[in-house]
Chain A
Amino acid sequence: MSDRTDTLDVPVAAPSPKPRRDLGWWIRLALWLALFVVLLALPLYLEAQWLKAGQYMMVGAVGAMGLTLLTGQAGQLSLAHAFFLLAGATSYTVLSGPTGDPELVGFGLDPLLALVGAVAVTAVLGLAFAPVAARLRGIYLGVASLALVFLGLYLGQSAESLTGGTSTGRPPASFELFGFPFSNEGELEILGVPIRETERVWYLFLALVVVAFLLARGAVGGRIGRAWRAVRDNESAAAAMGISVPGVKAGVFAVSSAYAGLAGVMTVLWFDILKPDESEFGTYGINVSIAYLAMIIIGGLGSVSGALVGAVLVNGLPQVLALYSTDLGWFTGTGENAFTPILISSFVYGAAIVLVVLFEPGGLAAIGRRIAGLTRRGKDPT
């Protein structure tokens, strides 16, 4: 033990406060840019149904990033993510909904304003949960937060003037950015490919994912991210360094809910209808909360890019399977015992969680770091 201490004492020329921009850093940057370019180009090549599947992965990506900040970075287990999704979806639909409808509440706001408003409303709802979050931790917090999903289920069904009710639901206003419609209206072509609703929404979602990703990465690397990790790892040490532990917990709940709220807005734009669930399993049910947990566990708790990959797997698999099934003639059975794409992908990501927990608790992010470590010349710790 003491000789290891000695090696650390050896002064090294000019310790760099920032990790040097070595080969690995440039490779990573190049890979991110390449991925971004590919994502920009995809709508020119892919059919609408594949773009739809990709959009659903992006919905998951935004939600999963929010949850990994809360659960991975700040150590607050939450099963309420589906509730905040519903809150965001409802807020957007209500805020942008037409005014003057006798049965449905609507504020007729500009869709961009409604999107920002929906994110703000869910952030406030997350903040409202803070007193509970400050008093509970671990699995107890998880169970308490689960109650919100049931609250959402009840409210979604009973507040029909907001949600439209379970039978008919309620269509959201299609998104518009300074008068540019994200629908089939108007003519737009790139390289001879008509850019219609699906392509437009793809670019909208891509932009939202990029913004959400950059914000999350910046926060994780900065002062607030350090505060989150300190609260996760040792509350008294966090307090001794000047952090208000309840304040930071409340803040990260608000941030995570805002992400979920945005994912909710994207969900409702993706389905093109706001339809509250009839049971606790559905678009905003327990299964969704658990799917989001699965994403961040598979991706690696606390890793923002891991959350992206987790979302691609968990949200993408059922979509892709469903698309292939029509080609291959799988999953033709119907009824309760049929092998649906959703069922199969549940098995797959269930198995993925078991594998991650058994063999690589750091998730895909840890595997990625190890691969990245190979490109770096090592004075890394063993």
Chain B
Amino acid sequence: MSGAELAVENVTLRFGGLRALDAVSFAVHPGSLHALIGPNGAGKSSCFNVISGLYRAGEGRVRFGEHDITGIRPNRLAKRGIGRAFQNAALSPQSTVLDNVMLGRYSLTRGGFLECGLQLPWVRKQERRHTERAAEICEFLGLGAALHTPAGALPYGAVKRVDIARALAVEPALLLLDEPAAGMNAAETAELADTIREIREELDISILLVEHDMGLVMGIADRVTVLDFGRVIADGPPAEVQSDPEVVRAYLGTDSSDGTEAG
């Protein structure tokens, strides 16, 4: 599963005169949990959007394994083995948990209106096989009891896990998590940290975690890249980065309430 490295090479992104990203480079090693952090407006989300194909970098490249995925269309990511979870979860609230997670199997399955409508034998078989796998993933994330519950009826922490389950249903080699702890209280964040750690230990995939919450990141990441004003100001293991004077200045100097705030 692992083996492909995500490499962000010299990516520069301009919005008019503003340099949202300035020659940003870092690499997510196969099987590692890499965190991308920074104060508000540091360019985390811009960087995330460049990787996931929403923004096109002015300069530089994004590579995944041997494939150049710079400016890839977002709907090609899943095929390349990249799963993505959303900051706002972005689920279908009326659909069941299982139905939401099954959406992740879209690029692994086939069949259009007629095939689905006619319930051809191979479609039914495919559906059964993938439903089992989706249920397994839900079980793994502690959603086993809620398979047939509409996603909109779940508490926030569980909604986030459904979103992560859907991203995992893509069978990704790399999981992109966009500020998963946003809007969570301390207990929920701790639970989320456990979930992420478990995914990393059990599934042997790389995770790129874009996060605001320092506490969450420092506890679980293997490696941390810190952005400030669109530039990489530190890159290394959490302990090293934490004591970096420039990182301390960026965090304490611009927004002191950062990371301790409970959603």
Contact = CB atoms under 8 A, between A and B. Distances in A.
Contact of A255 (B105, B110, B113, B142): B113
B144 A240 contact: no
A381 to B, nearest CB: 4
Interface in B70-125: 73-79, 83-84, 86, 90-95, 98-99, 102-107, 109-119, 123
Most B Cβ at <10 Å: residue of A2, A5, A216, A241: A241
A8 B153 CA distance: 12
B100 to A, nearest CB: 8
B113 A224 contact: yes
A258 to B, nearest CB: 9
Given A9-B142, A236-B74, A222 B132 contact: no
A241 B107 contact: yes
B135 A241 contact: no
Contact of B106 (A5, A223, A233, A234): A223
Interface residues of A, number: 49
B150 interface: yes
A381 B106 contact: no
A225 B100 CA distance: 11
Interface in B151-184: 153-158, 166-167, 170
A4 B159 CA distance: 12
B145 interface: yes
B99 A19 contact: no
Contact of A17 (B78, B95, B104, B131): B131
Nearest to A20: B148
Contacts, number: 158
Contacts of A224: 111-113, 116
Contacts of A137: none
Of listed A215, A240, A242, residue having the most chain B CB within 10 A: A240
Interface string A198-236: 000000000000000011111101111111011011101
A134 B186 CA distance: 42
Interface stretch (A46-54, A172-180, A243-251): A243-251
A12 B144 contact: yes
Contacts of B118: 215, 218
Contacts of A240: 52, 74-75, 77-78, 83-84, 86, 167
A236 B90 contact: yes
B64 to A, nearest CB: 15
Given A19-B148, A225-B116, A226-B106, A8 B154 contact: yes
A72 B136 CA distance: 30
B119 A5 contact: no
A227 B75 contact: no
B153 A236 contact: no
B103 A226 contact: yes
Given A2-B187, A5-B157, A222-B123, A229 B95 contact: yes
Nearest to A252: B113
Contacts of A223: 102, 105-106, 109-111, 116, 123, 127
A293 to B, nearest CB: 20
B6 interface: no
Most chain B beta carbons < 10 A, residue from A221, A223, A234: A223
A15 interface: yes
A192 interface: no
A239 interface: yes
B139 interface: yes
A226 to B, nearest CB: 5
B74 A381 contact: no
A307 to B, nearest CB: 15
Given A229-B95, A242-B106, A17 B147 contact: yes
B116 A233 contact: no
B210 to A, nearest CB: 14
B255 interface: no
Contacts of A222: 111, 115-117, 119, 123, 127
Given A8-B143, A12-B144, A236-B90, A241 B155 contact: no
A224 B103 CA distance: 10
Interface string A344-382: 000000000000000000000000000000000001111
Q: 3 shortest A-B CB distances, which residue pairs?
A: A242-B107, A222-B116, A215-B117
Given A9-B145, A224-B116, A242-B79, 18 more contacts: A5-B155, A8-B146, A10-B145, A17-B132, A215-B117, A217-B117, A218-B116, A222-B111, A222-B123, A223-B109, A223-B110, A224-B111, A224-B113, A232-B92, A236-B90, A240-B86, A241-B170, A242-B107
Interface of A: 1-2, 4-5, 7-12, 15-19, 214-219, 221-227, 229-230, 232-234, 236-245, 251, 255, 379-382
9 contacts: A5-B191, A8-B154, A17-B135, A19-B148, A218-B119, A222-B115, A240-B78, A242-B79, A245-B75
Interface of B: 52, 54, 73-79, 83-84, 86, 90-95, 98-99, 102-107, 109-119, 123, 127-128, 131-132, 134-135, 138-139, 142-150, 153-158, 166-167, 170, 187-188, 191
